[in-house]
Amino acid sequence: MDEDFAAHSLTSRLLDVMDQKHHWAYPRLTKPGLSRSQLLAHFQHEHAVYVRDFPVLLARALGQVPPLPDVRAALAENLYEEQTGGLSSTASHPELFLRMMDGLGFDRALFDDGAAELHPSAIGYRDWLREASAREPWQAAVALLTIFVEGSVNERAELGGTFRRSSGREAVSRHPLVVHYGCPEAAMELARAHAAVEGGHRSDAWNILTRHVPEDDGLADGVVETCERALAMWLAYRDGVAERMGLTRERAA
């Protein structure tokens, strides 16, 4: 790991949060055996909670950033890719998500507003994301979206250089939806787009916080607290989705 990153205690506190961004039901999604209605419940929730509106959440955070050209440019670039796919020469990521659903044979109308009855924990997390992405300090909103929501449990290994993100065809051909659930590779542009651009966005996100959150005031605490709250709400949300999918902890291994 880069020494600056390792020495930065905010980074280490946020990595402690990201190490816990794992849910007991997650491994089930990477294995065969889920029914179509279970898959649908999962994807309807993901779409409604943060996929469809992620570009707008980023825009809310960007709208709070003071005149710091590096931060504004990094967020604008991320937002441009999310809402247009312009950097990866694909399409907006919410649209790519729906193309992946097309590939699974799920009608787009199933993802219309109100088509799914969301678990209350999902509504709670979604509404809190909307509110927190527009709330000061901007560093907490940016960390929430670019570190917590966009990041994964692999964050520490990725920063440390020991996790290799799959790319190109490999990102698609080995994807569980292709391997186990019959999604055609052509419908997996979302995985290709993420493989193409996400690495750069991950390092931008960490650089912004390292540069713009001083260690010696309460700001770092506020940033960490926001991400801890996000983790608690996300875990409750994933419990809610698992409940809707009829998964129980005993059977999830």
The residues of the shown chain that bind Fe ion, judged by CB under 5 A, are 93
Q: How far is the CB of 61 from Fe ion (least distance, A)?
A: 15
- What whole-number distance in Å separates Cα of residue 12 and Cα of residue 6? 7
- Identify whether the C-beta of residue 156 lies closer than 8 Å to the C-beta of residue 162: no
Q: Which is nearer to Fe ion, 93 or 175 (CB)?
A: 93
Q: How far is the CB of 194 from Fe ion (least distance, A)?
A: 6
Helix ranges restricted to H, the chain: 3-7, 9-18, 26-29, 36-46, 54-62, 69-84, 93-104, 120-132, 138-142, 155-159, 168-173, 176-179, 189-212, 219-245
Q: Which is nearer to Fe ion, 10 or 79 (CB)?
A: 79
- What whole-number distance in Å separates Cα of residue 221 and Cα of residue 225? 6
Q: Which is nearer to Fe ion, 93 or 192 (CB)?
A: 93
Q: Which is nearer to Fe ion, 94 or 240 (CB)?
A: 94
Residue closest to Fe ion (Cβ) = 93
Q: How far is the CB of 97 from Fe ion (least distance, A)?
A: 8
Q: Which is nearer to Fe ion, 45 or 93 (CB)?
A: 93
Q: What is the token pair recorded at 15?
A: 């990595």
Q: Which is nearer to Fe ion, 28 or 93 (CB)?
A: 93
- Identify whether the C-beta of residue 200 lies closer than 8 Å to the C-beta of residue 106: no
Q: How far is the CB of 214 from Fe ion (least distance, A)?
A: 30
- Identify whether the C-beta of residue 61 lies closer than 8 Å to the C-beta of residue 145: yes
Mark residue 107 as left, alpha or beta (left: phi above 0; alpha: psi -120 to 50; beta: remaining).
beta
Q: How far is the CB of 90 from Fe ion (least distance, A)?
A: 10
Which residue matches tokens 């109308």?
Answer: 109
Q: How far is the CB of 253 from Fe ion (least distance, A)?
A: 30
